[in-house]
Amino acid sequence: MGELQQLTADELNRENQELRYRLEKAEELIEAVRTGAVDALAIQGADGPRIFTLEGADQSYRTLIEQMSEGAMLLGQDGTILYCNACLAGWLDRALEEVIGGSFELFIPADSLPYWHTLLSRGWQGKAKGELPVRARNGSLLPLSLAMNVLAFQDIPVLAVIATDLSARQEIRAIQARVAAQNEVIASTNEELGRQQAARVAVEQAAAETSRTLEGIPQIAWTADAQGVTTYLNHRWFDFTGPDNHHSLPEQWQEYIHPADIAATDARWQHCLRTREAFEVEYRFRNHAGQYRWMLGRALPSRDEQGRLLQWIGTCTDIHEHKLALERVDQAQRQLQENNEQLTRANVDLDNFIYTASHDLKAPISNIEGLMHNLLLELPAPQQEGGTVAQIMDMMQDSVDRFKRTIEHLTEVTKLQKEHSHLVAAVDLERLITEVRLDLGPLMEATAAAVEVDVRECSTISFAEKNLRSIIYNLLSNALKYRSPTRMPQVRIWCRPEGDYAVLRVRDNGLGLNLSHDGPKLFAMFQRLHDHVEGSGIGLYMVKKIVENAGGRIVVESQVGVGSTFSVYFRR
């Protein structure tokens, strides 16, 4: 009391004037904020609400935020809109002074408020994103994508929110849905017309509704009465035939349809009119450029509730490119069939030639061999035992023997070409390899070869045993014959399952091959890459043919001076 008593009347008067001045300033600021003349933020603090004007904010950033096509706003901790730009206010169809200072929840539908609270909570914890509908003044909902981030404004945290309109995305989805729905419009129109009354007014109403619907589909659409007379064509037909089409509706089809398709189309149409079956036919129509294009015509009968036929509703779909593609495929298939027939005839002719040649050559070779033996009997004994004559006779006998082996191999090739399948059985692979090693016993002893076998993971292979023996025999004998003269031959045979195949591999340390040079000739008939070893050059050709005829393949890896590995893939 003593201090109050010490205040003079003048001091009280000055203090009163100061308070009145501050009140007037506050009222002016509030009026400016209310009318939008000055942007401001009202932030709740410990001492009550505090108002911060944005007059001092950077003009460039303010202009950017006001002119951007996204909505922007600042929220207080209680959800109050401290600031929003014109874009967001425009979406809500409200003035800025109606938005700023209010709660954002006022614009959110009730069923979306729980999600908004969750999203708001996540936003205050750092950053958050979500999608939410807001309600405009006229009650319409606008889908928004919200991105939130906490900012410090004059040392007080506020929540900055950027909003993006998702209406365009939903419009695209709506268009896609409408396009999908249009594909069923014929059936739905038929169902709708089936519920109409039999009276003439009801029929006309149904026809009008049908025409409005058919105008929205991308195909040519048409209707005809119960007698088959055309009653309606949508604008797609006139886009196709041209703007100068002045023919009456019943004359449209006869005028533009291809002359070659008229008879079949009319016969099918008359049949459907009698039986009320669904109409479907492929025909050609002339467009405004004078070109004929293939169309797929379809129509369904529309009936009333009593089952009486009201009209036919049909479409024409352009299938010209599809038709041409089918024709190209048919032509390619015919060409392929002709090529296959030519190849088959060529193979048959080749087989016959090889068989005939090998058969016809046997007799002359046998005669030559017999004459050689008779010649030996006529020669004196000294000439038979040694000398040049004996050497020449031995060379001739070797040539005859090679010729006979070649003829035998040609016969085998002919059989192989004709026998694409043999009796397939589960063959004991280790047993078969052992038998082949016994057959090659003299060669193995002569070369002192070491052969390692490991086929435990593929103990059996489903294959024709005769053909499998031939494969193993040729690969193992080649590994021994084409050994390196500088080291003892070592051969490893093993088998492993790999996917859909059982893979048998034969690896040697022999001479090796230059695959970049000799690879194309390796599996060719009568090709020999090493002339110092006896052979006809038919073995690997037969191996490859046997494997490929059974649906497998053979692969070789080789390096000159190191050795080769042959991998045979058998289908499991």
Q: Are 417 and 542 in contact (CB under 8 A)?
A: no
pLDDT at 283 over 70: yes
Fold entry, domain 213-319:
Beta-Lactamase (3.30.450)
Q: Where does the pLDDT of residue 391 fall: very low under 50, low under 70, confident under 90, or very high at 90 and above?
A: confident
**Chain centroid, CA 62 distance in Å:** 49
Q: What is the pLDDT of residue 273?
A: 93
Q: Which of 492, 519, 490 is nearest to 505 (CA)?
A: 492
Q: What is the pLDDT of residue 422?
A: 56
Q: What is the pLDDT of residue 199?
A: 46
Sequence-distant (≥ 6) Cβ neighbours of residue 430 within 8 angstroms: 453, 455, 459
* pTM, to two decimals: 0.36
Q: Where does the pLDDT of residue 180 fall: very low under 50, low under 70, confident under 90, or very high at 90 and above?
A: low
Out of 26-30, 365-369, 567-571, give the one with best mean pLDDT. Answer: 567-571
- Tens-digit pLDDT profile for residues 154-170: 678 888 899 988 886 76
Q: Where does the pLDDT of residue 358 fall: very low under 50, low under 70, confident under 90, or very high at 90 and above?
A: low
Full DSSP string of 301-364: EEE-TT--EEEEEEEEEE-HHHHHHHHHHHHHHHHHHHHHHHHHHHHHHHHHHHHHHHHHHHHH
Who has greater pLDDT, 58 or 170? 170
Q: Are 460 and 428 in contact (CB under 8 A)?
A: yes
Q: What is the pLDDT of residue 459?
A: 86
**Are the folds of 65-170 and 213-319 the same?**
yes
Average pLDDT over residues 136-146: 89
3-state secondary structure of 537: coil
Q: Which two tokens stand for residue 379?
A: 């020669």
- Tens-digit pLDDT profile for residues 417-461: 555 545 788 999 999 999 988 888 888 888 888 999 999 998 899
pLDDT at 59 over 70: no
pLDDT at 547 over 80: yes
Who has greater pLDDT, 390 or 417? 390
Q: What is the pLDDT of residue 272?
A: 94
The number of beta carbons lying within 10 Å of the beta carbon of residue 397 is: 15
Domain locations in the chain? 65-170, 213-319, 421-571
Q: What is the pLDDT of residue 214?
A: 78
Who has greater pLDDT, 200 or 137? 137
Average pLDDT over residues 548-566: 89
Average pLDDT value for the chain: 78
pLDDT at 407 over 70: no
Who has greater pLDDT, 55 or 101? 101
| CATH for the stretch 65-170 | 3.30.450.20
Percentage, residues of the chain above pLDDT 90: 21
Q: What is the pLDDT of residue 374?
A: 73
- Tens-digit pLDDT profile for residues 331-349: 888 888 888 888 777 666 6
Average pLDDT over residues 492-507: 93
Q: What is the pLDDT of residue 78?
A: 85
Q: What is the pLDDT of residue 193?
A: 56
Q: What is the pLDDT of residue 489?
A: 92
- Tens-digit pLDDT profile for residues 467-480: 888 889 889 988 88
Q: What is the pLDDT of residue 306?
A: 84
- Tens-digit pLDDT profile for residues 501-518: 999 999 999 888 877 776
Q: Tokens 């041209």 — which residue?
A: 242
Its sign, for the CA torsion 330, 335, 338, 343, is: negative
Q: Is 304 left (phi over 0), alpha (psi -120 to 50) or beta?
A: beta
Q: What is the pLDDT of residue 363?
A: 64
pLDDT at 567 over 90: yes
**Distances, alpha carbon 109 to alpha carbons 50, 133, 256, in Å:** 30, 7, 57
List the single range of 297-306, 360-369, 391-400, 542-551 with lowest mean pLDDT: 360-369
Q: Are 560 and 511 in contact (CB under 8 A)?
A: yes
Who has greater pLDDT, 527 or 284? 284
Separation of alpha carbons 109 and 112, rounded Å: 5
Out of 19-23, 36-40, 486-490, give the one with best mean pLDDT. Answer: 486-490
CATH entry, 421-571, from 3.30.565.10, 3.40.50.300, 1.20.1630.10, 3.90.480.20: 3.30.565.10
- Tens-digit pLDDT profile for residues 193-225: 556 554 456 556 666 676 677 787 888 999 899
Q: What is the pLDDT of residue 3?
A: 46
Q: What is the pLDDT of residue 405?
A: 64
Q: Are 397 and 372 in contact (CB under 8 A)?
A: yes
